[in-house]
Amino acid sequence: MATEKRRNLRSSLDSAGTITWVQEDGTRISEKIMMLDLSSQGALMETKNRLAFQQLVKLEVPAHKISEVARVRRCDQKGLRFRIGVEFMNARDIQPKAPRWT
């Protein structure tokens, strides 16, 4: 069994959000994403588009009050989608909002 090498624990999520970035030609692109997991240092999400390593992005996930600038650290194709791992530029105590049962 593999050992966890991350410095921060990650919480599994299944939350919709938006990622925005600027292409080399200056075109601003926004795309809906599905957030898969989250830690205080970064996040993993699924997108329709491949993003370049080191690309700066703006990540917004309203359900968890997340609005952060991040840098792409990995991009792996999974079927027709891409799994994007990002590292927050201003890491702080970001944790998913606990689900509320009503």
Whether residue 9 is predicted with pLDDT greater than 80 in this model: the reply is no
Residue 34 lies in a domain: no
Whether residue 2 is predicted with pLDDT greater than 50 in this model: the reply is no
Among 51, 22, 46, smallest CA distance to 32 is for 46
Average pLDDT for 9-15:
67
Query: Model-level pTM?
Result: 0.77
Give the per-residue pLDDT at 77: 96
Residue 78 lies in a domain: yes
Whether residue 5 is predicted with pLDDT greater than 80 in this model: the reply is no
Render pLDDT for 18-75 as a digit per residue (tens, 0 to 9): 999 998 899 999 999 999 988 888 899 999 999 999 999 999 999 888 899 999 999 9
Q: Please, what sign has the CA dihedral across residues 46, 30, 69, 92?
A: negative
Amino acid at 63: A
For 69, the domain range is 16-26+39-88
Residue 102 lies in a domain: no
Residue 5 lies in a domain: no
Residue 98 lies in a domain: no
Q: Are 19 and 36 in contact (CB under 8 A)?
A: no
